[in-house]
Amino acid sequence: MGHFTVPAWPRPAPNALRNLQAVLESGRWSLPGPWQGHASAEARFAAHFADFLGAPHCVPTTNGSSALVVAMEALDVGVGDEVIVPGLTWVANASTVLAVNATPVMVDIDPSTLCASPTAIEAAVTERTRAIVVVHLFSSVVDLDAVLAIGERHGIPVIEDCSHAHGASWRGRRVGTWGTVGTFSMQEKKLLTSGEGGAVVCRDPDLADRMFQLRSDGRRLAARPVEGESELVADCSVAGTNYCMSELCAAVLDAQLEALPEQNLRRAENAATVDKLLQELPGLAPVRALPSVTERTYYQYAVRIDREAFGGVTAETVSRALAAETGLPFQTPYPPMYRHPLHRPRTKRRFLLVGRDPSRLDGPAGGLPETERAHREVLTLHHSVLLAPAGAFETLPAAIEKLQQQAGSLRAVESAR
């Protein structure tokens, strides 16, 4: 197979430069800047993103991590509390819990979706559980019916982390609008991006007001803004932090949002093509979405391998060999959270507070078997690959068959590492 040319990402949407130029010449580059007699770029993006999701309220933030912090602070998560998080996800899902002085409780995944297992979530609930954070991972959506039922049964709010799922839908409604709060990241690799950025969405107007203040140093929008003066006023009911999105990021996101539906459609079409190409091969099984997922998005295309078909080696060895053979940037999933090199809670004294058992910061004592297995058996491809022209993947099966035939060489490579 000839080497694959991966489409560039990020790529500017057609109106991105126009939007940026308007902000650059506006005299207002940040939300606290002087009001110019019209809605800020941030307010316009918030309205458009809320409309896209079908969410009554959207509050932009600096990034996805600050969105999670704002969501948890708004729900009054703090010292002595526990927050349930998946064991397979980016490290911020644990570090943000620690940042609000609560304890992340890592749970195992459902092997069919790679998302948090509802059974594991239920088993992890204690009298200290203050929130459940679920992540719609890679190209899947967690079993929202089961998770929301757990939350309702125990009176625990559910936070949907949709950083991988801009535009995905469950039973005809966008993810992020099912839980108490939905959070999004717009970091450079995401489906919707301005380099950095984030957002929180919800249905409760009082919760939205609280989240707005929490990310605006406690300030609210003035009822009657004065041109040339800041639109934010110190009319606060809660102490906040400055997590405001810049006007430049908001301008880019507003343009990128216009391009998102067509890009998501293109990714889904190419993912279906890859599914068909792989279905006849032994030893590979694309990760499927649950039947209730009515619109699927692909932050990463994920496929599980039968290691025996590749000589018993791990997904890491297969991913490196496939990347060398094809030019496709195959990777393995995140390592389990408790083994992630960036999960280092003991390096910050502020995470070791009275009322918290320090040993619990390191994750479950017995590990998480399905999370560990996914790291050994799953291959992923970044969504930019799925923006390639039709027909770009036709020779992928031959490359995979070649590796399977060279299983002995794969074993030797793995043994040498």
Of the candidates 108, 96, 129, 130, the residue with the CA atom closest to the CA atom of residue 345:
96
Q: Count helices and strands (H / E) in the chain.
A: 12, 15
Identify whether 190 is a catalytic site residue: yes
Instruction: Tell me, rounded to whole angstroms, the distance of Cα 402 from its chain centroid.
Output: 34
Contact 54, 177 (CB under 8 A): yes
Rounded to an integer, what distance in angstroms lies between the CA atom of residue 390 and that of residue 89? 31
Q: Is 85 exposed, middle or buried (0-12, 13-18, 19+ CB in 10 A)?
A: buried
Structure tokens at 57: 């309220």
**HEC sequence for 339-407:** HCCCCCHHHCHHHCCCCCCHHHHHCCCCCCHHHHHHHHHEEEEEHHHHHCCCCCCCCHHHHHHHHHHCH
Contact 41, 247 (CB under 8 A): yes
Of the candidates 59, 75, 95, 73, the residue with the CA atom closest to the CA atom of residue 216:
59
Residue in the block written with tokens 């949002």: 257
Rounded to an integer, what distance in angstroms lies between the CA atom of residue 97 and that of residue 90? 13
Rounded to an integer, what distance in angstroms lies between the CA atom of residue 357 and that of residue 374? 28
Of the candidates 78, 69, 264, 84, the residue with the CA atom closest to the CA atom of residue 158:
84
Residue in the block written with tokens 């409604």: 173
Of the candidates 75, 115, 77, 117, the residue with the CA atom closest to the CA atom of residue 98:
77
Can you tell me whether residue 109 is helix, strand or coil?
strand
Point out the catalytic residue in the list 190, 276, 348, 402.
190
How crowded is the C-beta side of 346, counted as CA atoms within 13 Å? 9
Residues recognised as catalytic: 190
